[in-house]
Structure 1
Amino acid sequence: MARYSAEFIKEMPKSDLHLHLDGSLRLESLIAMAKRTNTKLPSNTVEGMKQLVFKDKYANLGEYLHCFQYTCAVLRDMENLQQAAYELAIDNQNEGVNYIEVRFAPQLLIDLPNGINFDRVMHAVNDGLKQAMQEYNCSKAVLGGDKPPFAYGIINCAMRMFGDKGFSPYYTNLFQLMRDFEPMDVIKLAAMELVRASVRLRDEAGIPIVGLDLAGQESGYPASKFKEVYEYAHQHFLLKTLHAGEAYGAESVFEAITECYADRIGHGYSMFMPEMISDPSITDKAAYIRNLASYIADKRIAIEVCLTSNLQTNPLITDIKQHKFKDMLENRMATVICTDNRLVSNTTVSNEYQLALDNFDVPIKRLKDMVAYGFKKSFFPGNYVEKREYAKQCLHYFDRVATKYGFI
């Protein structure tokens, strides 16, 4: 097994295609933002917040998701939101990440009584990311051709479920306005409004909204419920990813592909767990998984792999070597190493690569393929020719770094 140093991993070009903005704030900034907006936190110190909220290990997915109530609360201030987006881009640049796709649920941050609508939220995020990109791309290293430029896209998340009170001002008001509708109808309506607004703002304001995601609790809220939402995205050239195969089995991944036209899959590890298949009509579970994996590999539908996050939220994975990343590699699937949530999971892209490369057999050629998928399977905010040229530039830089460290 090749040994890859932390220095090599940091220096090689990288991407992060599964990166939640509201789970990736700087902890020091979160505390300062809370003070600025009079938001109450369990502690006003970094050490206290790490002990009480942002832990290295969580009891379950519920405890993990509990963290987001504090980050979303401070991000309903547009100054805080722009700062968070800017700092997230800077943090990635500082560890050699060239391309990021920042995802979040705008409707969690909308607060109409306080004048915060969808457009203001999207402009604040884009302004922060754009500022960081422009500063980086004006540096001597980029202008001189020593390093590839930095680029980004934005993925908007629809929510699979939300409560009628306290989930966010937007969702609370929506349930009040539509109190005679079935909850699932309200949820789907919110998702449809999100995708329509995303396409509008992309086309009219030029904001690089590159994709649609479906986040939140999988069990009980199947992807098929959102088929019309994803059809709208599909028909308007908005690319598609879904959280699937995270807390639900292979059927969830199958639905994401067949019902929602998924271009990528978020997480996907439980698709290799036959015990999580619940459909009684699937009698040969091993064959079902084998055929599904083969189809995904053949179509090059990329899997957004988030190792640390999966270890923290799935009690069935007690050791990294148990992670189904091994099965993904064996099935020759297109895998992309991602962080999920830099703050909540206390990780970086470099840390995730180190975790993968220290525990799974990935020779240098396969590593280059993984890095390449991060650029080639991205939802790059340009045309296909521009995306190819950018990927080529980043992979040329990978060869230079690999040669420097003696791998080529």
Structure 2
Amino acid sequence: MSHRDPAFLKAIPKTDLHVHLDGSLRIPTLIELAETAGVELPARDEAGLRRLVFKDSYASLEEYLQGFALTTAVMQTREALHRISYELMMDNAAEGVRYIEVRFAPQLLISDRLSFRQVMQAVDDGLRQARDELNAGCGEDEPPYEYGIIACAMRFFTRDFSPYYRDFWQVHQFSTPKEIIRMAGVELAKAVNRLRRETDIQVVAFDLAGAEYGYPAADHAEAYGLVHKGFLCKTVHAGEAFGPESIFQAVTELHADRIGHGLHLFDPDMITSPDIEDPQRYVEDLVNYLADRRITIEVCLTSNMQTTPAMRDLRNHSLARMLDHNLSVSFCTDNRLVSNTTVTNELQLALDTFDFDAHTLRNCIVYGFKRSFFYHPYTEKRRYVRSVIDYYQRIAARYGVKEQV
């Protein structure tokens, strides 16, 4: 059997290191929660929502993002957050995903009804319940299921984004918008550090999400400095809507351990700084820097196709060059609902579009586990990764998949 076979891809242990909670609801759950919360939807059935909101392709990034206003509107209670988180872990497990890192922006969900800690606790409770139920049914020769939570600061927001941001804007009414956005990131960093110290909520990392172009990562150096000193892991959305300079800022000024998307890593034409005299050399040095330090790229193929016109033909994607340069790459969904995808689909799409063998596929799968922000001590992570590799090899033998090294 080929390593491209869908049954093999579903059976192997997988990770999803880049999945947004508010982009990954089940549609029936969205409909039910909207009914309970009195949230108006463009349609009251799954087919209608697929046709009007959650599509296979989108005309623009703006259209892609419209669905998030609906999902966040129903994520305003502890019960809803618990349910959505629980279901997300279960949906991943159903396709062989053993480890997930769920990310979201807590400040979009804080209100008079929900504090920061309550938001984080509800998500952790849902994931924890799913993990424990799944592990109770795990075979002795299988790697257990596990999870982590990533808190996202926002590159851009207005007072209309959430009740928290409205109040934050009001308290800092004499500051500029840029200063307010920066301060909100710092406040989140402080909150995450304290949560890590005082609770067993499995928060593992800090992220920077939202509009990339015009909102540089370097503006959030103070927030990342705080979580860096708090021994928290760091990832950054970079190179999705802007070029190599954004990725450079992420790894040099924000200490990023991983990069979300990294789509435009190899595009010297997107470099704007007049101080960079040789853009091609700049890109080459940056690529070598990432490769040498095993800074992993969280690749989201379907999402990139949907939000970037040039990627409608997936052969234009930079994945092939990432693999040619031996970069550490992990395949992720970004948003299971909004992008209508799964990790297995992402792997299938990659293998159908790009020519890489069973050995490269195995490496990408293992990178996901090795470069995860595992919550537990490193000695446990080593045992966990070893159990994953052994399990993968048993699955490969069962399906007759052989590597040509």
TM-score, normalised via structure 2 length: 0.97
- 1:218-244 Cα deviation digits (max 9, x unpaired): 111101101111111111100000000
How far residue 281 of structure 1 moved from its aligned partner, in angstroms, is 2.2
- The answer as to 2:337 corresponding to 1:343 is yes
The equivalent residue for 1:312 is 306
Which segment drifts farther, 340-349 or 174-183?
174-183
The equivalent residue for 1:79 is 79
SS of 2:41 mapped into structure 1: coil
Distance, in Å, in 1 between the alignment partners of 2:33 and 2:187 is 29
- The answer as to 2:144 corresponding to 1:149 is yes
- 1:360-402 Cα deviation digits (max 9, x unpaired): 1221111111111100000000111111110110111000011
SS of 1:271 mapped into structure 2: coil
Q: Report matched runs for 1:5-404 at 5 Å.
A: 5-112=5-112, 115-139=113-137, 142=138, 144-164=139-159, 166-404=160-398
Amino acid at match of 1:100: I
- 1:169-208 Cα deviation digits (max 9, x unpaired): 1101111121111111111111111111111112211111
CA contact (8 A) 2:205 2:232 kept: yes
How far residue 274 of structure 1 moved from its aligned partner, in angstroms, is 2.0
- 1:286-317 Cα deviation digits (max 9, x unpaired): 21111111110011000000000000000121
How far residue 284 of structure 1 moved from its aligned partner, in angstroms, is 2.0
SS of 2:127 mapped into structure 1: helix
- 1:262-300 Cα deviation digits (max 9, x unpaired): 000000011112221111222322211111111100110
Amino acid at match of 1:329: L
CA contact (8 A) 1:211 1:238 kept: yes
Amino acid at match of 2:40: K
CA contact (8 A) 1:244 1:268 kept: yes
Amino acid at match of 1:362: F
SS of 1:75 mapped into structure 2: coil
Question: Tell me, which stretches of 5 or more residues in structure 1 are unaligned?
Answer: none
Amino acid at match of 1:39: V
Distance, in Å, in 1 between the alignment partners of 2:224 and 2:254 is 5
Amino acid at match of 1:105: A
Q: Percent identity?
A: 51
Distance, in Å, in 2 between the alignment partners of 1:308 and 1:270 is 15
- 1:333-367 Cα deviation digits (max 9, x unpaired): 00000000000000000000101111112211111
Amino acid at match of 1:206: D
TM-score, normalised via structure 1 length: 0.97
CA contact (8 A) 1:3 1:358 kept: no
SS of 1:146 mapped into structure 2: coil
Amino acid at match of 1:49: L
Distance, in Å, in 2 between the alignment partners of 1:282 and 1:329 is 26
CA contact (8 A) 2:3 2:401 kept: no
CA contact (8 A) 1:42 1:49 kept: yes
- 1:66-112 Cα deviation digits (max 9, x unpaired): 11000000001221111000000000000000000000000000112
- 1:241-267 Cα deviation digits (max 9, x unpaired): 000000000000000011000000000
How far residue 3 of structure 1 moved from its aligned partner, in angstroms, is 4.8
Which segment drifts farther, 251-260 or 360-369?
360-369
CA contact (8 A) 2:19 2:333 kept: yes
Structure 1: which 4+ aligned runs deviate by more than 3 Å?
none
Distance, in Å, in 2 between the alignment partners of 1:232 and 1:85 is 27
CA RMSD in angstroms, aligned pairs only: 1.2
SS of 1:67 mapped into structure 2: helix
